[in-house]
Amino acid sequence: MLSIGGSIPSVVQASKERDMHQKWDAVIAGAGPAGASCAIWLRHLGFNPLLLEASDRVGGLVAANPFLDIWTASSPGMTGEQIAQQIAIHLKSSQVPMRLSCPVTDVRLTEQGLTVNVRNNDQLEMLSTRTFVIATGVRPRGLHPGDTRKWPGVIVGPGEQVANQDFQGLSVAILGGGDNGFENYEYVRRKGARQVHVYARSVRAQKQFVMRADTADIRVGPYAVDPQARSVNGRTYDLILVFYGWEPELGFMPSLSVQLDARGFVGTDPASTQTSVPQVYAIGEVAQRMHPCMVTAMADGVVAAKAIEKLLSA
């Protein structure tokens, strides 16, 4: 989960002593739109959820988006950062217990129930819960699956790091033939780049984006990248921007052994969001149950909350 600068209203923090001795109705990992929605619904349904967030703010990828959201019907004229602020305000007004900078390190299903280990201020703590919700989202895919290495002059994924970059007079290579690649091609050109080339093994972007691009700037077919030299097909650039899509954020998953689908995302029951492990649910982009966006992520949170209500009320 990404983190950016700026201020978000403070949220309700659960005390350590209470966390260590009580059994939560649900522990939700990830305070993006999906996790926040699930926590708010559970709270108003009369349950006691705990929301955990690995970064220092709520909102997930939304919080890392400084651009206007033109897709969400309820948020006209708002940036992703502003939407994240509204999510934080709603969590606070709903009195959802939450802990920031508190990543989950391990989850286990025992005869006594679910235990969730978290890292809080460099100390490990164990939480007890009746259900667990995976809402950890996705991260930008690097040059190779699972590759998180960084190189000077190579930017992986969209968002604030692109918005904060000065492109004036630079030569830029954009890798990826999807919507993000072509949208950022337009953005980089508007920001004064001297030269922008898109490299795509295949073009998958919306027709409207492709038609606005200069065909002379588009290279379709196989290509070779040397990130250390910042070169593509032997041509050196000032910057390389990588838009290869997303991969699920599943750092703690080996201990849980939930089944993944063919794409590597968490498999779930369509009606309930439950995973292959009893009392464990997965929502939002980590499960890719529907077309990924903020609205479908929030809807996923509602589905999980109602499924948990049915389970715990039986």
Between residues 281 and 263, the one the model is more confident about? 281
pLDDT digits (tens, 9 = 90+) for 47-60: 999 999 999 999 99
Element (DSSP H or E) covering residue 128: strand 123-129
**C-alpha span between 175 and 143 (Å, rounded):** 9
Percent of the chain with pLDDT over 70: 93
70-79, 129-138, 199-208: least confidently modelled range: 70-79
Question: DSSP per residue over 146-173, as a string?
Answer: T-----TTEEESSSHHHHT---TT-EEE
**Where do you find CATH 3.50.50.60 in the chain?**
16-140+247-313, 154-242
Percent of the chain with pLDDT over 90: 77
Helix (H, G, I), strand (E, B) or coil at 187: helix
CATH of domain 16-140+247-313: 3.50.50.60
- Averaged pLDDT for residues 291-302: 94
Global pTM reads 0.87
Cβ-based neighbours of 302, under 8 Å, separated by 6 or more:
37, 38, 41
- Averaged pLDDT for residues 159-178: 96
pLDDT digits (tens, 9 = 90+) for 235-257: 999 999 999 999 999 887 767 88
- Averaged pLDDT for residues 8-30: 63
- Model confidence at 16, pLDDT cuts 50, 70, 90, reads very low
Q: What is the pLDDT of residue 314?
A: 84
CB 55 within 8 A of CB 2: yes
Q: Name the residue among 92, 66, 230 with its Cα closest to residue 164.
A: 66
> Which of the 8 DSSP states describes residue 256?
T
- Provide the pairing of β-strand 225-226 with 231-232: antiparallel
Beta-carbon-side half-sphere exposure of residue 2 (alpha carbons within 13 Å):
23
**C-alpha span between 267 and 282 (Å, rounded):** 8
pLDDT digits (tens, 9 = 90+) for 80-108: 999 999 999 999 999 999 999 999 999 98
Phi, psi (degrees; rounded to nearest 5) at 75: -130, 50
Cβ-based neighbours of 7, under 8 Å, separated by 6 or more:
none
Q: What is the pLDDT of residue 4?
A: 26
- Provide the pairing of β-strand 154-156 with 246-248: unpaired
Q: What is the pLDDT of residue 28?
A: 98
Phi, psi (degrees; rounded to nearest 5) at 298: -65, -40
248-252, 270-274, 306-310: least confidently modelled range: 248-252
Which residues on neighbouring strands pair with residue 156, listed in sequence order? 242
Q: What is the mean pLDDT of the chain?
A: 90
Which segments within the chain are labelled E, that is strand? 23-24, 26-29, 49-52, 98-99, 104-110, 113-120, 123-129, 132-134, 138-140, 154-156, 171-175, 195-200, 218-220, 225-226, 231-232, 235-236, 239-242, 246-248, 280-282
pLDDT digits (tens, 9 = 90+) for 110-119: 877 899 999 9
- The number of residues in the chain equals 314
Between residues 152 and 64, the one the model is more confident about? 152
- Averaged pLDDT for residues 275-287: 95
pLDDT digits (tens, 9 = 90+) for 192-229: 999 999 999 999 999 999 999 999 999 999 999 999 99
CATH of domain 154-242: 3.50.50.60
Which residues on neighbouring strands pair with residue 260, listed in sequence order? 266
Block residue for tokens 């980590």: 286
88-97, 107-116, 126-135, 279-288: least confidently modelled range: 107-116
Q: What is the pLDDT of residue 18?
A: 47
CB 244 within 8 A of CB 142: yes
> Residue 103, Cα to own-chain centre: how many angstroms?
14
Which residues on neighbouring strands pair with residue 198, listed in sequence order? 174, 218
For residue 19, CA distances in Å to 48, 51, 73, 88, 259 come to 11, 11, 37, 21, 29
Strand order, beta sheet including 235-236:
225-226, 231-232, 235-236
**C-alpha span between 239 and 243 (Å, rounded):** 13
CB 71 within 8 A of CB 104: no
Residue 13 confidence (pLDDT) above 50? no
